[in-house]
A and B are shown apart, each in its own frame.
Chain A
Amino acid sequence: MSATLSPARSAPGPSPDAAPLIRMAGVGKTYHAAGGATVRALDGVDLDIADGAFVSVVGPSGCGKSTLLRMLAGLDRCEEGSLRLGGRDVRGPSGEVGVVFQAANLLPWMTVRENIRLPLRVGGRHAPAEARIDALLEVTGLADFGARYPYELSGGMQQRAGICRALVRDPRILLMDEPFGALDALTRERMNAELQRIWQTSGKTVLLITHSISEAIFLADQVVVMSPRPGRVLRVLEVPIPRPRSFDSIVSHPAYAGLAREIRALLTEPGDAP
């Protein structure tokens, strides 16, 4: 089934010698509120993401990590610094990027299949790709649910459909903004394992924003830790745990506890602790 998706990579993970797929240099963002007040959301963000990498971004609420993702998706303009994607400046939404939203964001008046087909119907695209939709439904375990409506699905299944929708245009980059935040802990772990599998079969570059330290470590090649507002990159931590990972094996891996402790320490730097 995965044959109709992008060719599977034999060795998942970033290739260090290749030029980065995403390059952020000095990216800043200031929001102007209606009353004339300004909010500095991001400040001097430098970050390179290699092609095929899985990168998690963790940071306190309001640190601008969603802003960063919105800029990459072309939803917010990058007015400060440079934001390049595949060697080109990001000027607006592009087919290179698929976005997975918080709480799935499926359209309730469309069936699961129609929701997944949506990206192929708009933006000047009229490519019937039923075989591709079938393959995606198969990979995400939704093969029997294509004709259902979102309200007939569990939260986890809805988010899987959201991932299918983000993948259907075959983008190089998948941006995920706390996609599993609304799910219960067990469903969330299962979704993490599935996302790892989907990532390994599809070969996409993934940028995942999350509040969960364990989710960040479990999925990522690198964990980017951001500071409170204005958001800066505090540190980029490599996750040297071999794949495929499982939650059972990862917590007993010697590197795990140290990484988790380091991330937690960075997130609760003195002065930011509640």
Chain B
Amino acid sequence: MSATALPAARTRRTELPSGIIAGGGLIVLLGLWEAAVHLWHLPGYILPDPAAVWRALWSGIAVSPASPLGWYRPLWGTFRNAALGFFIGSAVGLAAGSAMAESRTVERLLMPYAFALQCLPKVAIAPLIVIWFGFGDGSKIAIAALLALFPVMINSFTGLRAVEPERIDLMRALSASRIETYRLVKLPNAAPYIFAGLDMAVVYALLGTIVAEFLGAQEGMGVVITQAESVTDVAGVFAALIILGALGMALHGLVRALERRVVHWADRGKH
């Protein structure tokens, strides 16, 4: 018991200062912000002071979840579409990456296009996708999926190819089938790579959803931002950005927590 409690206490002691530093940095930033607004008499439609942003933030929090004025409904809409896009994009990315890793022919077929598409700013395709999928949830999910696909595809391809030859020898010596080798060795072996891809994908999916919402939507955080912009409610835009940042960090944290559970064996006395 004490053996496990001791290292935990030690990590907490070393981690505490980093929290204090980040918190201190935030206080300094808020102070400078407040000072700048008052010093140069900046109007609220250029740069609102921190208190105004806080009021805008709080006014959306302190309402019933069903209220159209709160953050909850647009946030849910954006989250749902980003999550769906993330799952679809990741699944397609994993399937395509696996096919490329398993077959040289598929690799030669897909790799040039994968890189060409990767170099293309995919946000520029967004208007096209809105034309194809309409202004509803479909276009949001499609763009989120498109953005999520690439990091998962490339990372799973790399990870599946990075398997140690001894592990493949082991499976060959056991007369294991290709599917068994994939499922029992290659896929778990690639898990750290795949999670690195998922980590990127979850943030990209959120980005894709917001961009799609900018182009036209009934509901979502993108809509909240464009509406606030149209009435030069800059404090409202700031508040929405804070909410989106928090959502992004929460999703990132979720993927990392899942990774720690699944890939618990990584970086521990490798042999």
Interface on A for B, CB 8 Å cutoff? 70, 73-75, 92-95, 97, 99, 101-109, 118-119, 121-124, 149-151, 155, 158, 182
**Interface membership of B15, Cβ < 8 A:** no
Residue ID in chain B nearest A182 by CB atoms? B271
Complex interface: stretch among B21-29, B177-185, B213-221: B177-185
Inter-chain contact A93/B175, CB cutoff 8 Å: yes
Residues of chain B from 158 to 175 with CB closer than 8 A to chain A in the complex: 166-167, 169-175
Q: What residues of chain B lie closer than 8 Å to A94, measured between beta carbons?
A: 175
Q: Can you pick out 30 interface pairs between chain A and chain B where the beta carbons lie within 8 Å of each other?
A: A73-B173, A74-B172, A75-B173, A93-B174, A93-B175, A94-B175, A95-B175, A99-B173, A101-B170, A104-B271, A105-B166, A105-B167, A105-B170, A107-B185, A107-B188, A108-B265, A108-B266, A108-B270, A109-B188, A109-B191, A109-B263, A121-B180, A122-B176, A123-B177, A123-B180, A124-B175, A149-B264, A149-B265, A149-B268, A151-B270
**Interface membership of B269, Cβ < 8 A:** yes
* C-alpha spacing A186/B243, complex, angstroms: 60
Inter-chain contact B176/A123, CB cutoff 8 Å: yes
Question: Chain A nearest CB: distance from B165 CB in Å?
Answer: 10
Main secondary structure of the interface of A (DSSP, over half): loop
Given A102-B166, A107-B184, the answer on whether A122 and B271 have CB atoms closer than 8 Å is no
Given A75-B169, A101-B170, A102-B166, the answer on whether A92 and B175 have CB atoms closer than 8 Å is yes
Given A104-B271, A158-B271, the answer on whether A123 and B174 have CB atoms closer than 8 Å is yes
Inter-chain contact B180/A122, CB cutoff 8 Å: yes
Q: What residues of chain B lie closer than 8 Å to A124, measured between beta carbons?
A: 175, 177
Q: What residues of chain B lie closer than 8 Å to A97, measured between beta carbons?
A: 173
Inter-chain contact B268/A122, CB cutoff 8 Å: no
Which among A75, A107, A151, A155 is the interface contact of B172 at CB below 8 angstroms? Answer: A75
Q: What residues of chain A lie closer than 8 Å to B173, measured between beta carbons?
A: 73-75, 93, 97, 99
* C-alpha spacing A150/B170, complex, angstroms: 16
Given A107-B185, A108-B265, the answer on whether A122 and B169 have CB atoms closer than 8 Å is no
Q: What residues of chain B lie closer than 8 Å to A93, measured between beta carbons?
A: 172-175
Question: Chain A nearest CB: distance from B189 CB in Å?
Answer: 8
* C-alpha spacing A49/B251, complex, angstroms: 61
Question: Chain A nearest CB: distance from B184 CB in Å?
Answer: 7
Inter-chain contact A118/B271, CB cutoff 8 Å: no
Q: What residues of chain A lie closer than 8 Å to B265, measured between beta carbons?
A: 108-109, 149-151
Q: What residues of chain A lie closer than 8 Å to B170, measured between beta carbons?
A: 99, 101, 105
Q: What residues of chain B lie closer than 8 Å to A151, measured between beta carbons?
A: 265, 268-271
Q: Mark B234-271, 1 if CB is under 8 A from A, else 0.
A: 00000000000000000000000000000111101111
Residue ID in chain A nearest B264 by CB atoms? A149
Q: What residues of chain B lie closer than 8 Å to A108, measured between beta carbons?
A: 265-266, 268, 270-271
Q: What residues of chain B lie closer than 8 Å to A101, measured between beta carbons?
A: 166, 169-170
Question: Chain A nearest CB: distance from B201 CB in Å?
Answer: 22
- 16 new A-B contacts, CB < 8 A, other than A75-B169, A75-B172, A149-B265, are A70-B169, A99-B169, A101-B166, A102-B166, A106-B271, A107-B184, A107-B188, A108-B268, A108-B271, A109-B189, A122-B184, A123-B174, A151-B265, A151-B270, A151-B271, A158-B271
- By Cβ-Cβ distance, the 7 closest A-B pairs, closest first, are A123-B175, A122-B176, A151-B268, A108-B265, A151-B269, A109-B188, A122-B180
Residue ID in chain B nearest A74 by CB atoms? B173
Residue ID in chain B nearest A97 by CB atoms? B173
Question: Chain B nearest CB: distance from A203 CB in Å?
Answer: 21
Q: What residues of chain B lie closer than 8 Å to A149, measured between beta carbons?
A: 264-265, 268
Q: Mark B92-110, 1 if CB is under 8 A from A, else 0.
A: 0000000000000000000
* C-alpha spacing A175/B233, complex, angstroms: 75
Question: Chain A nearest CB: distance from B185 CB in Å?
Answer: 7
